[in-house]
Chain A
Amino acid sequence: MASKVDPGIAEKARVLGAGNLTSCFHCGNCTVVCPLSDGDVSFPRRIIRNLQLGLKDKLMESPEPWLCYYCGECSETCPRGAEPAESVMAARRYLTTQYDVTGLAYKMYTSKAWEFGAIFGLGFLVVLLFALFHGPIVTERVELNTFAPAHVIELIDWGMGALLSVFLLSNVFRMVRRVLSAETTKIPRRLYFTELLALPLHFATQKRWKDCEDSRMWKKHMLLVSGYVTMFVMIFGFLKWFQTDEVHPFWHPQRLLGYFATFALLYVTGDMIVGRIKKKRQMHKFSHSTDWLFLILLFLTALTGILIHIFRVNGFPISTYTTYVIHMAILVPMLLIEVPFGKWSHLAYRPVIAYLNHVKKKAAGSNIS
C-alpha cells in the first residue's frame, strides 16, 4: 500500500521549527553520528524524510522522536546545515499536537495568540477566583492558611490533577496504540508486565540520555526532575504539611526539601534560559515560543514560591498573600496548558516510549536465544 505524500505536513513542521527541512539531501551522517540511533531505531534521517514528504502515518507510528534527547551532534555534523536535531524537535512538537484530539495542543503550538491568550486568560481567572473567594486577610501576622486554607487548595489540586491525568493519559494511549500498530517485532504480552519496572525507572532517570556524548545536560535535567518531583510530592501529597503558617527551624525537613527543590528549579531553568539566550550549545540555538514559555513559567513559579516563603518567615502578611496569588496565577495555567497540551507532556511520552523500546529489545533478545 502506497503512502500518500502530504505537502501540508512539511509546512506545519516549518511552523513548528523545522526551518531547514528541505536542505537535507539524505547523506545519513546524522544517523551515523547519533550515539542513540541503532539498528532497531534509526534516526534522525528517517524522521526528517517523513517530515519532508509529509508521511503522516509513518510519523504517528514512529517512536524515534521521543528517543532523541537533542544532544545536537547531528546538527553539528550535518554538511548541509539542515539542522537535523531541530527537525526532530519539530517532529516532537508535531506529535504533541497530533496525540491530542482536542486540537488545543495544535493551537498552542501554532498560534501565539492562543498560547499567550490561554496563559494570561487562565492566570486572570485564578486572580479573579482569589479576589472573590479568598479567606479573611489577617494583617497583624502572616496567616496564609486563613487567606487560602491548605485543605481547600489541596482539594482543588487533586481536582486539577485528575483533569490533567485524563487528558495526558488519553494522549499517551493514542500514542501507544499508533506506535504498537506498526511494530513488527513479535512481543509476548507478559513482557509488558514483567518489564513494567522500566517505566518508572526511565521516568525517574532518563537513563538513555546518559549515552549522549555530552552528559552534562542529562545531569542538569536530573537535578531539575528531582526538584520538580520533590515539589510535586509535597504539593499534591502533603500540602497541609508543606503550606504551614508555623515557621519551622531552618533544618526542618519541610524547609530543607523546599530549599532543595527551589534551588534545583531556579538553577536549572535559569541556566537553560541563559543557554537559550547565549545559544552556545546546539540544543539552545533554536528556541520556539513554547520553549521560552515553558522555561519562563517554571522559573517564575519557583521564584514566586521562594518569595512567598521569604515574606512569610519575615512576617510580611500582605506581600505573602499577594505573592501567593501571583504564584498560583502562574502555576495553574502552566500546569493546565503545558502538561497535557504543551512541552511538559514529554514527561509522559518519553518514559513510555523508552519503556516500549526496552520491552521491544527484550523481546528481540529472547527471540534470538
Chain B
Amino acid sequence: MSERRIGVYICHCGGNISDYVDVKQVLEGIRKEPCVAIARTAVFTCSDATQQDIIKDIKEQNLDGLVVASCSPKLHLHTFRSVAERAGMNPYKYVHVNIREQCSWVHRDDKPSASRKAIRLVRGGIAKAGLMDPLQSFRIETIPKVLVIGAGIAGLRASLALADLGIGVYLIEKKQEPGGWVADMKSTFPNHRSGAGLIKGLVERVHAHEGITFFSGAELVEKSGSVGAFKALIRSGDEEPFSVDVGAMIVATGFDTYAVKEGEYGYGMEGVVTLPEFKAWIDTQPAGELVYNGRPIKTMAYVYCVGSRQAAQPDLEKPNKYCSRFCCSAAMHGAICASTLQPRVRQYHLFRDVRTYGKYETLYEDASRLGSVFLKFDGSAPPVVESNGNGLTVTVKDMLSAGEELEIDVDMVVLVTGMVARENKALNDVLKLPIGQDGFFNEIHPKLRPVETVIDGVFIAGTSQGPKTSSESVAAALSAVSKCAALLMKGYVELEPLVAQVNSDRCTGCAVCIESCPYSAINMIACDTGEVAYVNTSLCKGGGACVPVCPENAIDVLGYTDDQIESMIDAMAAEPLAEGAAT
C-alpha cells in the first residue's frame, strides 16, 4: 500500500463547493495523507483543461490511484473513470468523493464544520484508493434478436422498426388476433383516423416482413440467461413450448379498462355504459338519429374520472390515485363524433378537471363549440345516476353554478373509465419486473430512462407502463426499439465488474444469500466439499444485499470490499484532523 501513488483533486465547482467549504484548508488537511503523491485544487475539475492536466499528472507522476472530490458520482463518476483510462490507468482505481451534494450544499449554515467534514470525506476516498484493485468489465456477445411481448399498436410498431433495422423479431400475442384495443376502433383522436385501418396496415406489414416471426395465442412461460443472451420459452396454444434465443425483450402487454362495479354510478342499468362500450356503440352509429338498444338517444351525460384519481376509501382495497389522462380526450372525441352524427344531441359533461392536454385541447374546444355543456363536480361529491322509469336522471352538485344541485334527465350515461394495469400474474412471475404502486411496470427513471427496467435487456413500452394515448404508446415503443438497437447492434455488451464475489473456501453452502438477491443472480453449484454459492456476473447488479446476510462473511462486492470500506471508516474517523483544520 505504501507504494501507491495517488493524485487528489479538490474541486471548487465554481463556487458551489468553495463558497461553503474552504478548499485550500481541505487541500492542506489531506496533503500529508499516506500515498498522496500530488494534490491540487481546480475551479472546474470536469473542464477539458483540468482533465488534460490530470492526464498529464498521471503520466508524469506515474500515479496509480486517483481521487476527485467534487459533485455527485451520478454526474461525473464516468467522466473521471474515463480520464483515468485515457491516462493508461485502470478506471476502477478511480475513487469519487462527493463534497457538494453531501457536504457544501447541505452545510451552508456552518462553513467551518463543512470544511472539516470535507477533509474527512476526502481522507476516506484516499484510503479506499489505496486499496482499489484493477478490474475489467465483462463482455457478453449479444444475439441480434428481440422478443416483443404483445401485438397491440406498440408491439406491432416496435417489431416493424426493429426488423427494419435488421434485428430479428419474435412477436408473441396472447390473443388469437393481433391489434389490441386500437384494432376495434373506427375514428380515433386527434385526426379521426380509423384505428382499425392503422392496425390493418401494421399487421399486413408485419406479416410480410421476413425479419418478424409472429405467434398468436402465445405466452412467455420461462425466461433464463441475461442481457444480450436470453433464452425465452414460449407456449403457443396446446403445442409443446419451444425456446428462442434473444438479446433483448420489449414488454408491450397493454392495459385493461377500469372494471366498473355493478351499481357504481348506476352501472348495470339500461343506458349506463363505460367509455369502451360507448366507443364501440358510437363507432357503429349511422348519421341521423342515435339509437341504443332500440331507444333513441337525445340527451347524454358523461361522468368523468370513473376509476381514476380515486381517494382512499374503506371499501376500496387499492384506489387508483393516478389520472388516466387519455380519457378526457377520448370522451371529448366521442362527443364530437356524436355531435357530428346528430347535431341536435344534447351532451352534458360532468367533470372534475378537464385534462385534454397538449394538442388535444382543441378537442375540448370543438366539443364545446358543438354544443357540449360542462359541469364541474367535486371529487368528494360524485354525481348520482338513477332510473326515473322513463330513462336516467343524473344528480350533480355543479361547482360552476355555485354548488347548486341539478338534475338532468338523460337517455344515456357514459362512465368515462380510465386505464388500469393488466392483471397478468403468470407473466409477472416470469419477468420479475418491478411494479409500481399503481400496478403498472416501473421504468428506471421517468425522465432519463423512460423505457428501461432494472433488468438489463428488458424494456417496457406502451400502456404496460402507465396510461398513454396511441401516439404516446408508439413513441415509447420506438424509444424501446432504439434502446434495443443500441444494445444489440454493437455485437456485445460490457458489464460493470462491480459484482459480488464468493470466497468458496469460506462458503458453507447455506444458501441464505440466494434469498436475499432481488435479481436471482446467485445459485448453488457443486464442488468438492458439497455445494457453494455461485454469482452469475451478468445478472448481478452489485447491490450487496448478499454481503451482510452471509454468516461466514464469504461474500464481497468488488469495488466495495470489506477491507476498502473499513479503511475508509478508519481514515474518516482518525483524530486529530491536520494542523490548521483542528478548530
Please list the residues of chain A having a beta carbon within 8 angstroms of any beta carbon in chain B: 1-5, 7, 10, 20, 22-23, 25-26, 49-50, 52-53, 55
Asked if B400 and A22 make an inter-chain contact with CB atoms under 8 angstroms apart, the answer reads no
Of A7, A10, A49, A53, most buried by chain B (CB within 10 Å of CB) is A7
> How far is it, in angstroms, between the C-alpha of A210 and the C-alpha of B395 when the chains are bound?
42
The smallest beta-carbon distance between B552 and chain A, in angstroms, is 70
Asked if B369 and A25 make an inter-chain contact with CB atoms under 8 angstroms apart, the answer reads no
Q: B374 an interface residue at 8 Å Cβ cutoff?
A: yes
Q: Given that A2-B395, A7-B299, A49-B400 are contacting pairs, would A22 and B371 also be in contact in the complex, using a CB cutoff of 8 Å?
A: yes
Cβ contacts under 8 Å, B369 to chain A = 20, 22-23
> How far is it, in angstroms, between the C-alpha of A91 and the C-alpha of B524 when the chains are bound?
83
> How far is it, in angstroms, between the C-alpha of A22 and the C-alpha of B406 when the chains are bound?
18
A-B contact pairs, 6 of them (CB 8 A): A3-B406, A3-B407, A5-B409, A22-B368, A25-B374, A26-B400
Cβ contacts under 8 Å, A3 to chain B = 404-407
> How far is it, in angstroms, between the C-alpha of A50 and the C-alpha of B371 when the chains are bound?
15
The smallest beta-carbon distance between B203 and chain A, in angstroms, is 40
> How far is it, in angstroms, between the C-alpha of A3 and the C-alpha of B405 when the chains are bound?
6
Q: B346 an interface residue at 8 Å Cβ cutoff?
A: yes
The smallest beta-carbon distance between A23 and chain B, in angstroms, is 6
Asked if A2 and B401 make an inter-chain contact with CB atoms under 8 angstroms apart, the answer reads no
Cβ contacts under 8 Å, B346 to chain A = 7, 10
Asked if A2 and B368 make an inter-chain contact with CB atoms under 8 angstroms apart, the answer reads no
Q: Which residue of A lies closest to B398 (CB)?
A: A53
Q: B267 an interface residue at 8 Å Cβ cutoff?
A: no
> How far is it, in angstroms, between the C-alpha of A1 and the C-alpha of B398 when the chains are bound?
14
The smallest beta-carbon distance between B361 and chain A, in angstroms, is 11
Asked if B406 and A53 make an inter-chain contact with CB atoms under 8 angstroms apart, the answer reads yes
The smallest beta-carbon distance between A52 and chain B, in angstroms, is 5
Number of interface residues of B (CB under 8 A): 21
> How far is it, in angstroms, between the C-alpha of A225 and the C-alpha of B409 when the chains are bound?
46
Q: B408 an interface residue at 8 Å Cβ cutoff?
A: yes
> How far is it, in angstroms, between the C-alpha of A165 and the C-alpha of B128 when the chains are bound?
104
Cβ contacts under 8 Å, A20 to chain B = 369
Q: B372 an interface residue at 8 Å Cβ cutoff?
A: yes
> How far is it, in angstroms, between the C-alpha of A4 and the C-alpha of B410 when the chains are bound?
12
The smallest beta-carbon distance between B360 and chain A, in angstroms, is 16
> How far is it, in angstroms, between the C-alpha of A7 and the C-alpha of B409 when the chains are bound?
9
Q: B312 an interface residue at 8 Å Cβ cutoff?
A: no
The smallest beta-carbon distance between A87 and chain B, in angstroms, is 13
Cβ contacts under 8 Å, A4 to chain B = 406-407, 409
Cβ contacts under 8 Å, B375 to chain A = 53
Cβ contacts under 8 Å, B398 to chain A = 53
Asked if A5 and B374 make an inter-chain contact with CB atoms under 8 angstroms apart, the answer reads no
Asked if A2 and B299 make an inter-chain contact with CB atoms under 8 angstroms apart, the answer reads no
Please list the residues of chain B having a beta carbon within 8 angstroms of any beta carbon in chain A: 299, 346, 348, 368-375, 395, 398, 400-401, 404-409
Cβ contacts under 8 Å, A53 to chain B = 373, 375, 398, 401, 406
Cβ contacts under 8 Å, B372 to chain A = 22
Asked if A52 and B373 make an inter-chain contact with CB atoms under 8 angstroms apart, the answer reads yes
Cβ contacts under 8 Å, A1 to chain B = 405
> How far is it, in angstroms, between the C-alpha of A20 and the C-alpha of B368 when the chains are bound?
9
The smallest beta-carbon distance between B389 and chain A, in angstroms, is 15
> How far is it, in angstroms, between the C-alpha of A231 and the C-alpha of B401 when the chains are bound?
45
Pick the contact of A5: B368, B400, B407 (CB < 8 A): B407
> How far is it, in angstroms, between the C-alpha of A2 and the C-alpha of B393 when the chains are bound?
12
Cβ contacts under 8 Å, B370 to chain A = 22
> How far is it, in angstroms, between the C-alpha of A26 and the C-alpha of B399 when the chains are bound?
10
Cβ contacts under 8 Å, B401 to chain A = 49-50, 53, 55
Cβ contacts under 8 Å, B348 to chain A = 5
> How far is it, in angstroms, between the C-alpha of A119 and the C-alpha of B546 when the chains are bound?
98
Cβ contacts under 8 Å, A22 to chain B = 368-373
Asked if B407 and A25 make an inter-chain contact with CB atoms under 8 angstroms apart, the answer reads no
The smallest beta-carbon distance between B530 and chain A, in angstroms, is 75
Asked if A23 and B368 make an inter-chain contact with CB atoms under 8 angstroms apart, the answer reads yes
Cβ contacts under 8 Å, B299 to chain A = 7
Closest 7 CB pairs of A and B: A2-B405, A7-B346, A5-B408, A2-B407, A26-B400, A22-B368, A22-B371
Cβ contacts under 8 Å, A26 to chain B = 400
Cβ contacts under 8 Å, B408 to chain A = 5
The smallest beta-carbon distance between B392 and chain A, in angstroms, is 13
The smallest beta-carbon distance between B206 and chain A, in angstroms, is 43
Cβ contacts under 8 Å, A7 to chain B = 299, 346
> How far is it, in angstroms, between the C-alpha of A53 and the C-alpha of B372 when the chains are bound?
11
> How far is it, in angstroms, between the C-alpha of A49 and the C-alpha of B376 when the chains are bound?
12
Q: Given that A2-B405, A5-B408, A53-B401 are contacting pairs, would A25 and B373 also be in contact in the complex, using a CB cutoff of 8 Å?
A: no
The smallest beta-carbon distance between B300 and chain A, in angstroms, is 11
> How far is it, in angstroms, between the C-alpha of A25 and the C-alpha of B372 when the chains are bound?
11
> How far is it, in angstroms, between the C-alpha of A25 and the C-alpha of B373 when the chains are bound?
9
> How far is it, in angstroms, between the C-alpha of A25 and the C-alpha of B354 when the chains are bound?
11
> How far is it, in angstroms, between the C-alpha of A49 and the C-alpha of B371 when the chains are bound?
13
The smallest beta-carbon distance between B12 and chain A, in angstroms, is 50
> How far is it, in angstroms, between the C-alpha of A238 and the C-alpha of B368 when the chains are bound?
56
> How far is it, in angstroms, between the C-alpha of A26 and the C-alpha of B401 when the chains are bound?
10
Q: Which residue of A lies closest to B400 (CB)?
A: A26
The smallest beta-carbon distance between B303 and chain A, in angstroms, is 15
> How far is it, in angstroms, between the C-alpha of A25 and the C-alpha of B367 when the chains are bound?
12
> How far is it, in angstroms, between the C-alpha of A4 and the C-alpha of B401 when the chains are bound?
13
Cβ contacts under 8 Å, A50 to chain B = 401
Known A3-B405, A55-B406; further 15 A-B contacts with Cβ < 8 A: A2-B405, A2-B406, A2-B407, A3-B404, A5-B348, A10-B373, A20-B369, A22-B368, A22-B371, A22-B372, A25-B368, A49-B401, A53-B373, A53-B398, A55-B401
The smallest beta-carbon distance between B295 and chain A, in angstroms, is 17
Q: Which residue of A lies closest to B404 (CB)?
A: A3
